[in-house]
Amino acid sequence: METFGRQNGLPPDTLFSLNLVLEELFTNALKHGGCVGLAAAARVSLDAREGEIAVEFADRGAAFDPASAPAPDFSSSLADRQPGGLGLHFVRQFAREIAYRRSGEWNRVALRLPLTPAPSNPDL
């Protein structure tokens, strides 16, 4: 990520967002998708375009559309909340657009991240 960021002159906030998004998608593919132990379980494609980063994250896990996952419940206290769900919330906050498709044994998530950070969310 650092090399990609340097090569494309990414601002530090954009690089942070990109790292967070990819880490969350990869962690979910391992933890929930059944990718642990699979050879070549995930692939990432990055393209710096005018004003944005185009990302395709592909994994061989169980079919799962991250855009359809329920939003976390911010109405209850932290002590009363079930763990999890915030990673995908962050992915949605940082991405301008999220598109999912299943292609053979691969989940393919296409994202567009702006070169500037997403506005802060007061619900966090």
Cβ count within 10 A of residue 6: 10
CA 62, CA 106: separation in Å to the nearest integer? 8
Residue 119 has pLDDT above 60, yes or no: no
CA 66, CA 56: separation in Å to the nearest integer? 13
Give 20-34 pLDDT, tens digit per residue. Answer: 999 999 998 998 888
Confidence of residue 19 (pLDDT cuts 50, 70, 90): very high
pTM, two decimal places: 0.82
98: nearest Cα among 107, 114, 111, 86: 111
CA 25, CA 38: separation in Å to the nearest integer? 16
What is residue 67's predicted lDDT score, i.e. its pLDDT?
A: 82
Domains of the chain and any CATH numbers: 2-114 (3.30.565.10)
For every residue of 12-73, DSSP letters joined together read HHHHHHHHHHHHHHHHHHHHTTS-TT-TT-EEEEEEEETTEEEEEEEE-SS---GGGSPPP-
Mean local confidence (pLDDT), 98-117 = 91
Give 52-66 pLDDT, tens digit per residue. Answer: 999 999 999 999 998
